[in-house]
């Protein structure tokens, strides 16, 4: 069992419903999940099964109807909006499928501006931003704007940006969907190594089980419920190394 201080995310008995005509539609049904620091959990499942809802609750963007949400040991269930957003900004990194970079900013500025939105002076965030760009293999293009970067490079800037400030929880939505198979593999490997080396807990939603490895921890979302699933057999091209 993971020590409480090592838990990046804990969901307990989370139920989420949306208005649906005269009734309610249950998107998450009594979901519990723990993700330790240094651990990656891939969430797969059919369209409409609740994966995005799960990420939104873990990101503290949607409050569940019932259940508890803890981020890095901090209970957010009863917090005000302002208190929740403090926890979110300090402890959660979000990576969406489309990088959504700002066209007028260089790769380096994408990171330093994000840091400044959290109240840090841009200049003090520059060493960390440079180190993160180096970690994702982009030192040589730190001065380029998104229009001068490839799709894979843009997604790597997106990943580096999510890590500024040292979050303990990384929430990743379909990171490979805008990339070809080869670049998708590179991005998945990068997210695995960041998870391990930086000790973040990662929840990664993906349709694309072709990018998963046999040693990945995989859960399946079905009708708003989670259940463990065996990772797929190794990809014959890339193997499991
Ligand atoms: N804002 C909303 N209002 C009402 N119903 C919603 C809303 N968002 C999602 N739903 C419904 O909740 C259920 C779960 O949706 P969710 O987006 O979490 O699924 P998903 O597994 O992420 O799907 P996909 O893989 O297609 O993105 C679906 O039945 C969906 O129609």
Residue 132 falls inside a structural domain: yes
Which atom of ligand 1 is closest in space to residue 50's alpha carbon? 18
Residue 1 falls inside a structural domain: no
Ligand 1 pocket, residue 53 CB under 6 Å? yes
- Going from the Cα of 174 to the center of ligand 1, the distance in angstroms, rounded, reads 15
On whether the CB atoms of residues 29 and 223 are closer than 8 A, the answer is yes
Ligand 1 pocket, residue 123 CB under 6 Å? no
Predicted pLDDT at 1: 64
Give whole-number Cα distances, 106 to 26, 111, 115, 120, 148, in Å. 42, 9, 14, 18, 9
Decide: residue 82, CB within 10 A, 0-12 exposed, 13-18 middle, 19+ buried: exposed
From 14, 15, 24, 25, mutation site for ligand 1 pocket: most ligand atoms within 8 A of C-beta: 25
Q: How far is 170 from 164, CA to CA, in rounded Å?
A: 11
Residue 237 falls inside a structural domain: no
Each residue's pLDDT tens digit in the chain (241 positions)? 667 668 999 999 999 999 999 999 999 999 999 999 999 999 999 999 999 999 999 999 999 999 999 999 999 988 999 999 889 988 999 998 888 899 999 999 999 999 998 788 888 899 999 999 999 999 999 999 999 999 889 999 999 999 999 999 999 999 888 788 888 898 899 999 999 999 999 999 998 888 899 889 999 999 999 998 876 666 555 554 4
From 23, 31, 48, mutation site for ligand 1 pocket: most ligand atoms within 8 A of C-beta: 48
Residue 151 falls inside a structural domain: yes
Residue 240 falls inside a structural domain: no
Q: How many domains does the chain have?
A: 1
Predicted pLDDT at 119: 80
The enclosing domain of 63 has a CATH number of 3.40.50.300
Q: Is the ipTM of this complex over 0.95?
A: yes
Residue 191 falls inside a structural domain: yes
Residue 2 falls inside a structural domain: no
Residue 211 falls inside a structural domain: yes
Supply the range of the domain harboring residue 129.
Answer: 7-230
Ligand 1 pocket, residue 223 CB under 6 Å? no
- Going from the Cα of 141 to the center of ligand 1, the distance in angstroms, rounded, reads 37
Predicted pLDDT at 234: 60
- Going from the Cα of 36 to the center of ligand 1, the distance in angstroms, rounded, reads 26
Predicted pLDDT at 3: 72
pTM of the complete model: 0.90
On whether the CB atoms of residues 103 and 146 are closer than 8 A, the answer is yes
Ligand 1 pocket, residue 47 CB under 6 Å? yes
From 14, 49, 219, mutation site for ligand 1 pocket: most ligand atoms within 8 A of C-beta: 49
């Amino acid at each position: 069992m993971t020590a409480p201080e090592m838990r990046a995310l804990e969901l307990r008995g989370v139920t989420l419903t949306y208005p649906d005509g005269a009734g309610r539609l249950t998107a998450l049904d009594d979901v519990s999940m723990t993700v330790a620091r240094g651990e990656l959990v891939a969430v797969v499942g059919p369209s409409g099964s609740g994966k995005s809802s799960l990420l939104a609750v873990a990101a503290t963007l949607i409050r569940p109807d019932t259940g508890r949400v803890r981020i890095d040991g901090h209970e957010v269930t009863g917090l005000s909006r302002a208190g929740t957003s403090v926890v979110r900004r300090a402890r959660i990194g979000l990576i969406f499928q489309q990088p959504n970079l700002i066209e007028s900013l260089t790769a380096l500025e994408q990171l330093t501006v994000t840091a400044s939105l959290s109240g840090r002076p841009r200049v003090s965030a520059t060493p960390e931003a440079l180190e993160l760009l180096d970690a994702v293999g982009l030192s040589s293009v730190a001065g380029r704007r998104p229009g001068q970067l490839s799709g894979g490079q843009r997604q790597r800037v997106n990943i580096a940006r999510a890590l500024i400030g040292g979050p303990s929880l990384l929430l990743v939505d379909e990171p490979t969907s805008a990339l070809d198979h080869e670049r998708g593999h590179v991005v998945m490997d990068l997210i695995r190594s960041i998870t391990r080396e930086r000790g973040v807990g990662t929840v990664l939603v993906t349709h694309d089980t072709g990018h998963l490895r046999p040693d990945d921890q995989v859960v399946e979302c079905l009708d708003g419920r989670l259940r463990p699933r065996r990772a797929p057999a190794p990809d014959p091209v890339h193997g499991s190394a």
